[in-house]
Structure 1
């Protein structure tokens, strides 16, 4: 039996002023799926994410989450429905401690019986427990990325979005982030991932969408993307 989509975009158009970026995106994310959103820089990935989380209102089309239209809704209202983002650049608060980050936004937006508590987040990222009293601006880049993921998980989201979560990190830290994402997948966390490390993403995601100039030019399962390296070269320059 086919599951209903958790999130769906239909005819999605968006841009900035007179500059149109998205030209009618159609896709859906089903519960429990991990979806990779791929493409070169400037092809519409960030604009798609901004449209979903509400920081950019679409000019046309619709975005539905839990069966309800969220196109043009305020970001805080979308977040309360259960959408959490780990933004590019992390955006940790410099004057909040690690622990304050993880308790200030805590919620159970997915109605989970065994949700992401402070203790579970510390178990996922032991380094955060060691640095619990340190402020956001006292952390390394890798620690800030762990904190950004932990902060998103503390809301127990229905949909987790990661925008370049491994960008600029040392290889050992990247490996830890990928380990974390694999664990989240095993626990059934619905996730949308933007990342340039396609070789790692095909080992994690169920399906992928490739954007080219604001349009979906390819979509399919990881097995097909892994088998056709010409897609990597043509659309991602890998």
Structure 2
């Protein structure tokens, strides 16, 4: 494993009951990078994330975060080490206001000189300031995604993971999310993104991993992925 790795999985095997989904998967994210996990539906992307963050038991292999093994730790313990997830489906709480979402989970899980305070989160997503008193179930899908990202950032994570970052959002809202992620990249936030909009991800990410039937079949830089459009057709269906 690279000494600069923030998160590294090696030889990951995992699944559900008798069904195996991941087959010897290797994945590495270095501090300060934006990395994507790409692949068609059903190839194991969400299972990979669950395995990395302790939501699914690892059958074989190892996961390290900040150089220490974390496989076997609970999802809560891994979160406290500085991993924050924006889950598929957003999972905003219907009985909490926007402001309550952002203060209930606030923490300092890294030593950043510019922590994510409530005011900084409102500056990143002005619409959340406007909706501060609204309940989670009173927001549009785009507003819920903004809230889910802001909630994750309120923990000041060392690693931010977004599962289906812009799924189901209107184009104008998707663009707001991309702009947000570009700001986070400029600020040095280490991020793992799962999304299907490859053209947009090329402009955002440093490196990409393509997943096919539970195995990493290609990884490389944005320039390398942009130069080989045959990969897009073969593995991504675009």
* Corresponding residue for residue 216 of structure 1: 216
**Aligned equivalents of 1:103, 1:158: Cα separation in 2:** 18
SS at 2:143's partner residue? Answer: helix
Structure 2 partner of 1:21: 21
Q: Distance in 2 between matches of 1:89 and 1:27?
A: 24
Q: 1:191 matched to which residue of 2?
A: 191
Q: State the match for 1:152 in structure 2.
A: 152
Tell me the residue number matched to 1:61.
61
| Equivalent pair of 1:85/1:161 in contact (CA under 8 Å) | yes
Report Cα offsets for 1:26-46 as digits up to 9, x if no partner. 121110000010001111110
**Any idea what the Cα deviations from partners look like across 1:85-117, whole Å, max 9, x if unmatched?**
000000000000000000000011012121100
Determine the C-alpha separation between the residues in 1 that align with 2:3 and 2:79.
23
1:126-182: per-residue Cα shift (whole Å, max 9, x none)? 000000000000000000000000000000000000001100001000000000000
Q: Which residue of 1 aligns with 2:129?
A: 129
Give the conservation status (yes or no) of the 8 Å contact 1:3–1:31: no
Q: Does 1:74 align with 2:60?
A: no
**Corresponding position of 2:143:** 143
Query: Relative to 1, partners in 2 of residues 1:71 and 1:3: Cα closer, same or farther, differing over 3 Å?
Result: closer
Comparing 3-12 with 168-177, greater Cα deviation is found at 3-12
Look up the SS of the partner of 1:179 in the other structure: helix
Name structure 1 gaps, 5 residues minimum: none
Q: Secondary structure at the match of 2:175?
A: helix
2-structure distance, mates of 1:97, 1:182: 27
Aligned mates of 1:140, 1:73 — CA distance in 2: 35
What is the TM-score of this pair, normalised by structure 2? 0.98
CA distance in 2, matches of 1:26, 1:172: 35
Partner of 2:41: 41
1:234 aligns with 2:234: yes
Q: d(CA) in 1 for partners of 2:198 and 2:141?
A: 22
SS of 2:203's equivalent in the other structure is coil
**For this pair of structures, how many residues does the alignment match?**
237
Q: Given the two structures, how large is their TM-score scaled by the length of structure 1? A: 0.98
Shift in Å, 1:3: 5.2
Q: Contact 1:82 / 1:110 at 8 angstroms: preserved in 2?
A: yes
CA distance in 2, matches of 1:197, 1:170: 13
Distance 1:7 1:64 in 2: 6
Name structure 2 gaps, 5 residues minimum. none
